[in-house]
Structure 1
Amino acid sequence: MSNSSNTHIKTVHQARRDDFSGIWVALITPFCNGPDAAVDLPALQALASKLIKEGVTGLVVCGSTGEAAALSEEEQLQVLDATLAVVPAHQVIMGLSGNHMGQVLHRLAAIGQRQVAGVLVTPPYYIRPSQAGILHYFHEIAEASAVPVLLYNIPYRTGVNMELPTLQQLAKHPNIVAIKDCGGNLQATMQLIMDGDIQVLTGEDHQLFSTLCVGGAGGILASAHVRPDLFLRLQALIIAGELAQARIIFYRLLPLMQALFDEPNPAPLKAALAASGLIQVNLRAPMQAATSATTEKLLRTMEQLEPIK
């Protein structure tokens, strides 16, 4: 690493958020009615403000739950700027995905002109690079990024798995700080936690309890849009060693988590939020709204969460 790179990384460390533990919400992107399905920025800001007031650690914008793949680069930056207008920068992580190195670095530079807590980055999708290719990709991003980098291992969306040795090598980079873990390999998850070089946050909502119990730092969750107080209480109880009480809350939340993924995310989640009057139910094609059967099941599940003492 060059002296200039070392200086850059040191500067990042001085200004960075070092702790990404907690309950982060993988934020949806609301859309207006109409043929163009424009981003509903007022609804976005109202929802973001509500979640922060309810105590979540922060928000991840323009991830898969935020339908980022259906947003233009300009729209993604509009979503980011609208969120930053109502949420402190240290509570905002920006999603970043792509398969063209130059375009990804261009978007990274645009994100770096804003103050955000970090960027959540997937491996290149569709092209299925080798592990050496993944190492090169993330090294280039980590070296170029003005903010901390969080890895996002989600092979069922990208088509490639980040293997444990790859993750361990990337975790040594001073600008790679955490991982959203959707890899489905408990042994790899536990090894990363045991190594202690990177914070491990689950991205699989139903694995929150187990990840926290084996020492994970938290989660980046779509489900935490709904009753975030219970997700926060669950983590607090586990930290306090109150596992029996935490288990009760988890198994009360589990049907909600399952119902929210009965159809492709975020269709059921948008149905739930629309039923609460927070957004309109619209999605970007080819995504379709949740069926009435899924919506009815989800609303019944939500009603059964009240009250928990």
Structure 2
Amino acid sequence: MSSFQGIWVPLVTPFHNGAIDFVGLRRLVSHLLEQGVDGFVVCGTTGEPAAMGKHEQLAVLDAVLEQVPAQRVVMGLAGNNLSELLQFQGEILKRPVAGLLVPPPYYIRPSQAGLEAFFKTIADASSVPLILYDIPYRTGVAFEQATLLRIVAHERIVAIKDCGGNFSNTMALLASGDVDVLCGEDNQMFSALCLGAKGAIAASAHVRPELFVRLYQQIRDNRLAEGRNTFFRLLPLIDSLFLEPNPAPVKTALALEGLIDDELRAPMQRSSPAMATRLKAVLGAMNNP
């Protein structure tokens, strides 16, 4: 069993006039800590790292580590230039992090053998545990089940963020006992937890995080009817937050709550006016059940 249990938030990166908003970042992290989330993923997809320089990513990580115990902080490590990725991994590992979240190399669509070699290289070079990030609709490559099971047998790959959309693979991972499964598709969280997932890395848990924490605890404690009620209370929010490209709706919701500015880096765009109106209504309904 890994240390990656419960509700982990893949942090957005707040911006103000194009620069990283470290004041907003501290305010957001403090709020999420107060609401009981278990940990943070810095510079995962939701953090817009593809639009940030490596020095900016490390600056965000350093800022989070000033507020959050290292055992509750995971850093995203993504790219398709392996030598540069290993160099960046070395820079990250100068910091005290709990682990790395690593997707397959995007765009180049390696073979199954290429995927195995890639993850072996990253895992062999790591001094901390890895969470494999299976998200084919962003990387352009899917794991065959046998490949996936061989990869997660590596001693340093201890968990998987499961966004693969392959129920058979999910069941095989849960049955293998080699790796902890963390749900990465927020609208599948209830069923995944009931089937044995150890938690979730959930972008929607930025908003009303205490309810996501409650959902996890209810299912963990076998209070399934209560968990089901909590999940269906959250579902309109979850569905709304993914109607437009992530993390635009999440940032809009956080801005409506006064936590950060509603700003993204190009080519990402802010939520549409219709989305902002929808989120106001959803949040209002949740605040007045």
Quick check: TM above 0.5? yes
Q: Distance in 2 between matches of 1:154 and 1:163?
A: 13
Matched, 1:24 2:24: no
Q: Distance in 2 between matches of 1:182 and 1:282?
A: 26
Opposite residue 28 of structure 1, the aligned amino acid is: V
Q: Secondary structure at the match of 1:293?
A: helix
Alpha-carbon deviations, 1:221-265, whole Å to 9, x = none? 000011111111111111221111111111110110010011100
Q: Distance in 2 between matches of 1:177 and 1:221?
A: 18
Q: Secondary structure at the match of 1:24?
A: strand
How does the TM-score come out when normalised to structure 2?
0.98
**1:5 matched to which residue of 2?**
none
Deviation, 1:191, is 1.3
**1:227 matched to which residue of 2?**
208
Matched, 1:197 2:181: no
Q: Secondary structure at the match of 1:282?
A: coil
**Which stretch shows the higher mean deviation, 155-164 or 120-129?**
155-164
2:167 to 169, 186, 194: 186
Matched, 1:79 2:54: no
**1:115 matched to which residue of 2?**
96
Q: Secondary structure at the match of 2:217?
A: helix
Matched, 1:66 2:50: no
1:246 to 227, 251, 255: 227
Matched, 1:42 2:23: yes
Q: Distance in 2 between matches of 1:18 and 1:160?
A: 26
Deviation, 1:163, is 2.1
**2:110 matched to which residue of 1?**
129
Opposite residue 93 of structure 1, the aligned amino acid is: V
Alpha-carbon deviations, 1:107-146, whole Å to 9, x = none? 1000100000100001000000001000000000000011
Matched, 1:146 2:130: no
Residues 292-303 of structure 1: pairs in structure 2 closer than 5 A: 292-303=273-284
Deviation, 1:307, is 4.8
How does the TM-score come out when normalised to structure 1?
0.92
Q: Distance in 1 between matches of 2:216 and 2:52?
A: 33
**1:158 matched to which residue of 2?**
139
Q: Distance in 2 between matches of 1:306 and 1:49?
A: 21
Q: Secondary structure at the match of 1:304?
A: helix
Q: Secondary structure at the match of 1:93?
A: strand
- Contact 2:2–2:180 (Cα < 8 Å) also in 1: no
Identity %: 54
Q: Distance in 1 between matches of 2:206 and 2:85?
A: 28
Q: Distance in 1 between matches of 2:181 and 2:5?
A: 8
Opposite residue 9 of structure 2, the aligned amino acid is: V
Q: Distance in 2 between matches of 1:19 and 1:269?
A: 26
Q: Distance in 1 between matches of 2:68 and 2:136?
A: 30
Q: Distance in 1 between matches of 2:20 and 2:4?
A: 28
Q: Distance in 1 between matches of 2:147 and 2:12?
A: 30
**2:255 matched to which residue of 1?**
274
Q: Distance in 2 between matches of 1:166 and 1:79?
A: 33
Q: Secondary structure at the match of 1:55?
A: coil
Give the aligned CA root-mean-square deviation in angstroms.
Answer: 1.1
Alpha-carbon deviations, 1:4-61, whole Å to 9, x = none? xxxxxxxxxxxxx93211100011000012xxx0111111122112211211010001
**Which stretch shows the higher mean deviation, 23-32 or 157-166?**
157-166
